[in-house]
């Protein structure tokens, strides 16, 4: 008995030590995140002031009014710093229709109660993230969205968590996705395809500049706004690259993610590379793909038709894998179905139908994207692709200012007609504010420690809240002192370290 007691005591000591180490690591991460975010906020604040001063310098605004406008911005910035300390939780939003569902969670239309603004809420179950080893991917998605401020990327307004879920509150793009457009149009003209491929190039370039690989570029993740302009979304598989080390990723777990496995054989007629003659003609292949593409897109197994072979084969790979995916999408836009990769890259290129009416420039670009890494365009940067002859008439700096190649039908801010309909599996339960915010810190578990530093608030979102809340909130917040701010920060850190 004494021996068992000693053993149990030893196990408890090991468990206690392990939990203590987790809390130490979480505290370290909290402090690093806090000061990193502080420095980022200071930089963003300087940039906003610089933009305003530059606009005023080139305007006819009187000097006195210029001074007042700068003071107004300073007051706005101070108010932003105060308001961003307010806790936010799912109860602050009215939950509306589901517009997407995946292996780890769902995407839902929602309305912020205070501002009335419409957003898309991505909700991820923490336990699923942990059990499937997705923690790093979730962190990378949140970090990328918070870091990359680009009109080519879906905008993040808030991120937060409660005891069970992680939440990302993003802009809602009512135009649907590229998959929906392709299903509607079958194939796109070269002019239309060029517009969207060019916007995709800018989007991919923007995340590469921040040292991230997307790894899941596909039509479902190219969303259209109400005017038809494209934005890149869904960064759940993105991978940060440490620019201080090699520019490639070598990992045995490379793409073991739940939604990337073998191609899904819907009706036993999807051929592999050695059996690519199952269809009698390109027309039959086109008809088969059109009939089954949505089943593939929303299956839990998924399809690797857009993923570079070096990723699927778990070889070392880098940012160039995203350009292969773009080549596969371009092929599908112009031909009607994806190229279906093979061991021999040239086999893919030879699958371009001989009777297709593609220009020689389009065929050349497809072949130079769907090829081995050493010869793939984009390996040396996006400029390699931008200067390709197919883009000769593209004005890269005006793509998002010009009229889009296609304008979706959108009837109001709550319109979801361009998305699939999803049934409620379990109606959302009434939310309690106690599940989130300051009191939640007292209930932190080892599960929560994996997601320390997840919270984010966007300047524009806070500004909208301030405008809706009026001066009463502003006066209330102005009564708080800088000392209280420091105490709040240290209390939050204590909660991370000392929570049971």
List binding-site positions for ATP. Answer: 122
Residue with tokens 């879920």: 165
Among 278, 272, 269, smallest CA distance to 340 is for 272
Active-site residue identified among 92, 216, 225, 322 = 216
Residue 189: count of CB within 10 angstroms of its CB: 12
Q: How far, in Å, CA of 259 to CA of 455, rounded?
A: 26
| Residues in binding site | 122
The encoded tokens of residue 399 equal: 């793509």
Radius of gyration of the chain (CA): 25
Q: How far, in Å, CA of 299 to CA of 124, rounded?
A: 18
Those residues whose C-beta lies under 8 Å from the C-beta of residue 294, and which sit 6 or more positions away, are: 179, 183, 420
Q: How far, in Å, CA of 496 to CA of 410, rounded?
A: 45
- Please return the burial class of 474, using the count of CB atoms within 10 Å of its CB with bins 0-12, 13-18 and 19+: middle
The encoded tokens of residue 258 equal: 């739940």
Q: How far, in Å, CA of 170 to CA of 122, rounded?
A: 8
Residue 39: count of CB within 10 angstroms of its CB: 10
Residue 52: count of CB within 10 angstroms of its CB: 15
Residue 469: count of CB within 10 angstroms of its CB: 17
Using alpha carbons only, give the angle 477, 89, 422 rounded to the nearest 5 degrees: 145
Q: How far, in Å, CA of 26 to CA of 185, rounded?
A: 50
| 216 a catalytic residue | yes
Q: How far is CA 165 from CA 99, 122, 125, 161, 371, in A?
A: 18, 10, 5, 6, 40
Q: Is the separation of the CB atoms in 81 and 69 below 8 Å? A: no
Q: Give the residue numbers marked as catalytic.
A: 216
């Amino acid at each position: 008995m004494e021996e068992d007691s000693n053993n149990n005591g030893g196990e408890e000591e090991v468990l206690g030590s392990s939990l203590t180490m987790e809390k130490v690591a979480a505290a370290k991460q909290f402090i690093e995140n806090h000061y990193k975010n502080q420095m980022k906020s200071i930089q963003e604040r300087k940039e906003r002031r610089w933009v305003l001063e530059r606009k005023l310098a080139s305007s006819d605004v009187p000097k006195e009014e210029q001074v007042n406008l700068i003071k107004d911005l300073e007051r706005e910035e101070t108010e932003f710093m105060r308001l961003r300390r307010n806790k936010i939780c799912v109860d602050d939003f009215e939950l509306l229709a589901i517009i997407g569902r995946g292996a780890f969670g769902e995407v839902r239309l929602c309305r912020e109660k205070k501002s009335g603004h419409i957003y898309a809420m991505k909700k991820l179950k923490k336990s699923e993230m942990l059990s499937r080893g997705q923690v790093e991917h979730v962190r990378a998605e949140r970090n990328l969205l918070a870091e990359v401020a680009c009109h080519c990327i879906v905008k993040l307004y808030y991120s937060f968590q409660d005891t069970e879920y992680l939440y990302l509150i993003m802009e809602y793009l009512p135009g649907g996705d590229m998959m929906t457009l392709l299903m509607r149009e079958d194939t796109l003209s070269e002019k239309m395809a060029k517009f969207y491929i060019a916007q995709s190039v800018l989007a991919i370039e923007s995340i590469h500049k921040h040292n991230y690989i997307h790894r899941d570029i596909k039509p479902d993740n190219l969303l259209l706004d109400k005017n038809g302009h494209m934005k890149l979304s869904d960064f759940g598989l993105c991978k940060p690259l440490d620019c201080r080390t090699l520019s490639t990723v070598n990992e045995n777990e490379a793409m073991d993610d739940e939604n990337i496995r073998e191609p899904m054989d819907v009706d036993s007629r999807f051929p592999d590379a050695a059996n690519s003659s199952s269809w009698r003609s390109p027309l039959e292949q086109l008809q088969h793909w059109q009939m089954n593409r949505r089943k593939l897109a929303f299956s839990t197994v998924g399809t690797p038709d857009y993923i570079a072979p070096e990723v699927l084969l778990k070889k070392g790979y880098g940012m160039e894998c995203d350009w292969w995916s773009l080549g596969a999408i371009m092929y599908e836009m112009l031909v009607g179905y994806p190229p279906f990769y093979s061991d021999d890259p040239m086999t893919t290129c030879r699958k371009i139908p001989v009777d297709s009416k593609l220009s020689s420039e389009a065929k050349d670009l497809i072949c130079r994207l769907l090829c081995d890494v050493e010869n793939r365009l984009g390996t040396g940067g996006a400029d390699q692709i931008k200067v390709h002859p197919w883009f000769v008439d593209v004005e890269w700096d005006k793509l998002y200012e010009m009229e889009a190649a296609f304008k979706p039908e959108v009837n109001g801010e709550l319109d979801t007609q361009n998305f699939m309909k999803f049934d409620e599996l379990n109606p959302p339960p009434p939310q309690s504010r106690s599940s989130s915010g300051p009191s939640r810190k007292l209930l932190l578990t080892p599960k929560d420690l994996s997601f320390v530093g997840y919270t984010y608030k966007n300047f524009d979102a806070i500004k909208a809240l301030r405008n809706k809340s009026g001066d009463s909130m502003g006066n209330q917040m102005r009564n708080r002192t800088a000392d209280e701010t420091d105490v709040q920060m240290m209390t939050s850190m204590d909660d991370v370290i000392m929570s049971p």
